[in-house]
Structure 1
Amino acid sequence: MRYAWLCHPVTVAGVVVLLINDHLLKQTWPGFVTGKLSDVAGLLVAPALLALLLPRRADLAATVLTGVVFALVKTTETGADLASQVWTFVGGPSRVLADSSDLLALPALALAWWVRGRGTGPDRRHVMIVTMPLAVLAVTATSAALGHPTTVAVEENDGRITVRTDTSSAWLSEDGGRTWTPTSGAYDGKAPRTAQCVPYQATRCYRVAANRMAVEQSDDGGHTWRPSWAASPDELERLSRQYEPHDRLESVALAVQHRPEGHVVVVANGADGILVRDTSGDWRRVGLPGAEPPEVDLALERDVALFLAACVLFGGVGAGLRRHAGVYTGFAAAACVSVPVIAGDPFDPGGFPAHVAGLGGLPFLAALLALPVSGAVCLGSAIAGRARAVPVAVGTLGAPLVYLSVYTPFQGWAQGTPASHAAATALAVLLTAVVLLAGAALVRNDARRAHLAGTSTSSPT
């Protein structure tokens, strides 16, 4: 019954709708229709998928739990934030928004329950082998982080500083850039001010550096210039992973304001928002006040972590095989390669290596078929080959540890700790090496004990 529910034509149709809608239609036609279509299809598929993880005769619990979790995510900021973190961890940078209007999709649970009642007949496990990975991919399809406006101009008038964007949004400060208030007003399109001298101090001037995220200053009225502020290489690396390639990551305009205690400089830093030099001379990146910046894209590091975790899982099990090692190794290699391909976006050629990017979603479809087949063959080989318990345990427990060892340092780097990508890489290598060496030692000791046991058994008495 449980497999029949997941393999029912209506549920399979929901899986297909989720895949097409979340990976293609939402990017092409974002809006109310594609958003609600995703909610309806997700509520149709999720109970059947969740039922596979719960004890038998828990279909009603799976349906109710799906509705409760959906309601909490859509009606509370805490639920939406937790869902965003989970989806980011599973599938890369994503954002889930609390929107009570999405509760209109809840009647889809009634359809899911109706489908369950008609999912009678024998468990179609051979169909489930293909359906389940598709369903998991569909349900965990990420919601892209929301786009952010780009600052394009700075205006100073009567002690008020206004930073305008390429949309109708703007920010206003009346205290020299210490606090900001959202306001409105479309940018008039005039050429922005890119250089200005300090009022009542004509020898000190500032200008934005051409095509860079940097500001220069002059102490001789503009005859010579030297760097005053520039984004560090690691800051630029993070920013390039937060925004799309077409977003402007450069300082584009500025304004200088005289204050009783000195002067301030406010810079429009393109997609990164607002940059402020306070009266003490310290520079501070403000960003877009009140707006949460996009998540740092760690897709490359995530894919490496997934690949190494898959290698540890299949490698650990394979190390304990007594027979069928050759067949197992070939299919295990195919499974390991398939994992990072499936983790990427099948409709985004940029998510694939350059030599396969031109093939579009072909590598994804091939991997989607190869992974369940390879996994099934490896499982059968492990059972038939009588894999020893210790290597199997090492592979099963070591895989998530390796994933965390590789991925966690880069998650910290995305938040600013450690400060450099090189330090995060070194930490990831160190942690991964410790896990791999510990696992290798356990497997080696188990192999030695198995060899000694076999030798003593075969010796004449």
Structure 2
Amino acid sequence: MLLVNDHLLKQAWPGFVTGKLSDVAGLVAAPALLALLFWRRADLVATVLTGALFAAVKTTETGAELASQAWTLVAGPSRVLADPTDLLALPALALAWWVRRRTLHHPASARWRIIVTMPLAVLAVTATGAAAPPLSAEAVEVDGSRIHVHTNLGSGMTSADGGRTWTDTTDDEDARGQSAQCVPHQATRCYQVLKDRLGVEQSDDSGNTWRTVWAPSGDELERLTRQHDDASALRSLSLAVQPQEGGHIVVVANGVDGITVRDTSDTWRRVGWPGAEPAEVDLGSERSVALFLAACMVFGAAGAGLRQFTVLYTGFAMAACLGLLLLFSADSVFGLMSFLEPPFSLFGLLAGLSCGVVCLVLAIVGRARPLPAAVGVLAAPLVYLGAYLPFEGWSRGAPGSYGVAVAVAVLATGLVVLASAAVIRNDARRASSYFAGSSTSSPT
């Protein structure tokens, strides 16, 4: 029931019944699964614990957030929402207990049945934790002085002042948006959305020729793509034109990016989702590179002060840095193959830690000079900040160009590395002159 409901019925008939059906089926299956975690038979404990956890998740934001994180570890990116109305499914625990009582005096099931059934049961339960579809602006309609934007989740937004302010509403009917429309009482001026991407075209000759009047720049589109998991959902779907005093306005439904408004002064403005915080720009790859460079700074500076085992230390240091890079970038490298991410992350962690321990031992045995090691430890945070902060600024619009962020990161990181190398080189010269002088001095 869980598998069929989550993967078929919810998509075909979303609503109260299919939503609660998953809760009922999950509460029947969960106690039997939870009981397997105990060393001895503990059916009552498992049933009561299932009910308590379910109530905590559905009635508290903290419980819902913890459940979201747990489901994400088990089944990939997931979002569990607190909904007290789901407590209506709690009587299903009585059905689970009745099943337990019915089977209590039956012969034990064959082991092969358990082996075959358990993976299906776990898959079915984790299916209920799948992430909800992202909010998407699907259609725009004009009703007199009001503009309605409809979403895919049965909600909407309404503006009564030409798109300057918006209020949340509930959709009671199917949206009937259109992808093109001409200005009322001005048939020569028309607008249409671009196909399969964000943007709007305008025609001033009743649709004979078209030109793009609004579309995000390359850097804006890159930021938007990193804000949303599904880049294909970034496209303009519908628009509506509303006459206003002194001109007209255009409101565009842009899928997961929300809405865009053209005011009477012919200025286009991305509104997004009014009143909501914009999604964070994914800087995982840039963060991974910054951490990798910081690790290289620590190991490289310490290795520059070694008196022995330089070659051996260099090999293990490279292995440690590469292992850490694999750990840091596992999500971005294996994002399309999420089942590979946990083992590669674990491998990177073990490789980085083990090789790092070997490097520490070699640094001690090889009598590494303390100043280069101290320079590496102090310079590593500066390397990380120099390599990462320009991209953090780019994600917020300053600098506006990704290429400028790359140039600033390279310059800042290079300055830190050069300054550290100068200090380490000066220390090496002093050490060389000291040992040279010691070898020619007379014993006292």
Alpha-carbon deviation of 1:343? Answer: 2.4
- 1:315-394 maps to which residues of 2 (within 5 A)? 315-344=300-329, 349-350=334-335, 359-394=340-375
In the alignment, the residues of structure 2 paired with residue 458 and residue 444 of structure 1 have an alpha-carbon distance, to the nearest angstrom, of 21
In the alignment, the residues of structure 2 paired with residue 195 and residue 297 of structure 1 have an alpha-carbon distance, to the nearest angstrom, of 33
In the alignment, the residues of structure 1 paired with residue 220 and residue 307 of structure 2 have an alpha-carbon distance, to the nearest angstrom, of 51
In the alignment, the residues of structure 2 paired with residue 29 and residue 416 of structure 1 have an alpha-carbon distance, to the nearest angstrom, of 29
2:404 maps to 1:415 = no
In the alignment, the residues of structure 1 paired with residue 67 and residue 358 of structure 2 have an alpha-carbon distance, to the nearest angstrom, of 28
* 8 Å contact kept, 1:347–1:361: no
SS in 2 for 1:239: helix
Match for 2:264 among 269, 279, 299?
279
Larger Rg: 2
2:231 maps to 1:182 = no
Work out the percentage of aligned pairs sharing the same amino acid: 52
* 8 Å contact kept, 2:335–2:341: no
SS in 1 for 2:76: helix
Could you say which residue in structure 1 is the equivalent of 2:427?
Answer: 446
Alpha-carbon deviation of 1:245? Answer: 2.5
* 8 Å contact kept, 2:198–2:236: yes
* 8 Å contact kept, 1:24–1:347: no
5+ residue gaps in structure 2?
Answer: 1-65, 83-129
Q: Which amino acid aligns with 1:407?
A: Y
Q: Which amino acid aligns with 1:200?
A: H
Could you say which residue in structure 2 is the equivalent of 1:170?
Answer: 156
1:59-82 deviation line (CA, Å, top 9, x unaligned): xxxxxxxxxxxxxxxxxxxxxxxx
Question: Structure 2 vs 1, CA of residues 323 and 18 (structure 1 numbering), >3 Å: closer, same or farther?
Answer: farther
In the alignment, the residues of structure 1 paired with residue 414 and residue 228 of structure 2 have an alpha-carbon distance, to the nearest angstrom, of 32
Q: Which amino acid aligns with 2:399?
A: P
* 8 Å contact kept, 2:319–2:351: yes
In the alignment, the residues of structure 2 paired with residue 321 and residue 18 of structure 1 have an alpha-carbon distance, to the nearest angstrom, of 49
In the alignment, the residues of structure 2 paired with residue 19 and residue 212 of structure 1 have an alpha-carbon distance, to the nearest angstrom, of 31
SS in 2 for 1:365: helix
Alpha-carbon deviation of 1:195? Answer: 0.7
5+ residue gaps in structure 1?
Answer: 1-16, 34-143
In the alignment, the residues of structure 2 paired with residue 334 and residue 262 of structure 1 have an alpha-carbon distance, to the nearest angstrom, of 65
Alpha-carbon deviation of 1:202? Answer: 1.3
2:190 maps to 1:205 = yes
Alpha-carbon deviation of 1:326? Answer: 2.4
* 8 Å contact kept, 2:139–2:175: no
1:311-363 deviation line (CA, Å, top 9, x unaligned): 001000111111222222121111111212222456982278xxxx8855332
Structure 1 residue runs of 4 or more that deviate by more than 6 Å after TM superposition: 17-20, 144-147
Question: Structure 2 vs 1, CA of residues 187 and 301 (structure 1 numbering), >3 Å: closer, same or farther?
Answer: farther
Q: Which amino acid aligns with 1:423?
A: V
SS in 2 for 1:442: helix
2:289 maps to 1:240 = no
Alpha-carbon deviation of 1:198? Answer: 0.9
Could you say which residue in structure 1 is the equivalent of 2:143?
Answer: 157
Alpha-carbon deviation of 1:417? Answer: 0.5
* 8 Å contact kept, 1:165–1:187: no
In the alignment, the residues of structure 2 paired with residue 348 and residue 314 of structure 1 have an alpha-carbon distance, to the nearest angstrom, of 24
SS in 1 for 2:226: helix
Question: Structure 2 vs 1, CA of residues 186 and 344 (structure 1 numbering), >3 Å: closer, same or farther?
Answer: farther
Could you say which residue in structure 1 is the equivalent of 2:293?
Answer: 308
Question: Structure 2 vs 1, CA of residues 231 and 24 (structure 1 numbering), >3 Å: closer, same or farther?
Answer: same
In the alignment, the residues of structure 1 paired with residue 172 and residue 311 of structure 2 have an alpha-carbon distance, to the nearest angstrom, of 67
Could you say which residue in structure 1 is the equivalent of 2:49?
Answer: none
Question: Structure 2 vs 1, CA of residues 301 and 156 (structure 1 numbering), >3 Å: closer, same or farther?
Answer: same
1:15-39 deviation line (CA, Å, top 9, x unaligned): xx99993652363764379xxxxxx
SS in 2 for 1:24: helix
TM-score, length-scaled by structure 2: 0.69
* 8 Å contact kept, 1:23–1:345: no
In the alignment, the residues of structure 1 paired with residue 135 and residue 330 of structure 2 have an alpha-carbon distance, to the nearest angstrom, of 25
In the alignment, the residues of structure 1 paired with residue 284 and residue 131 of structure 2 have an alpha-carbon distance, to the nearest angstrom, of 14
Question: Structure 2 vs 1, CA of residues 185 and 256 (structure 1 numbering), >3 Å: closer, same or farther?
Answer: same
1:86-125 deviation line (CA, Å, top 9, x unaligned): xxxxxxxxxxxxxxxxxxxxxxxxxxxxxxxxxxxxxxxx
Match for 2:283 among 286, 291, 298?
298
- 1:106-121 maps to which residues of 2 (within 5 A)? none
- 1:94-113 maps to which residues of 2 (within 5 A)? none
Could you say which residue in structure 2 is the equivalent of 1:39?
Answer: none
Alpha-carbon deviation of 1:298? Answer: 0.4
Alpha-carbon deviation of 1:371? Answer: 1.7
Question: Structure 2 vs 1, CA of residues 20 and 288 (structure 1 numbering), >3 Å: closer, same or farther?
Answer: closer
Match for 1:457 among 417, 429, 438?
438
Could you say which residue in structure 1 is the equivalent of 2:212?
Answer: 227
Q: Which amino acid aligns with 1:377?
A: V
In the alignment, the residues of structure 1 paired with residue 68 and residue 237 of structure 2 have an alpha-carbon distance, to the nearest angstrom, of 40
Question: Structure 2 vs 1, CA of residues 416 and 317 (structure 1 numbering), >3 Å: closer, same or farther?
Answer: same
SS in 2 for 1:224: coil
In the alignment, the residues of structure 1 paired with residue 424 and residue 339 of structure 2 have an alpha-carbon distance, to the nearest angstrom, of 41
Question: Structure 2 vs 1, CA of residues 329 and 322 (structure 1 numbering), >3 Å: closer, same or farther?
Answer: same
In the alignment, the residues of structure 1 paired with residue 390 and residue 319 of structure 2 have an alpha-carbon distance, to the nearest angstrom, of 28
SS in 1 for 2:335: helix
* 8 Å contact kept, 2:293–2:383: yes
SS in 1 for 2:354: helix
In the alignment, the residues of structure 1 paired with residue 68 and residue 302 of structure 2 have an alpha-carbon distance, to the nearest angstrom, of 32
Match for 2:73 among 10, 18, 24?
24
SS in 1 for 2:435: helix
2:273 maps to 1:288 = yes
* 8 Å contact kept, 1:261–1:279: yes
Could you say which residue in structure 2 is the equivalent of 1:435?
Answer: 416
* 8 Å contact kept, 1:394–1:443: yes
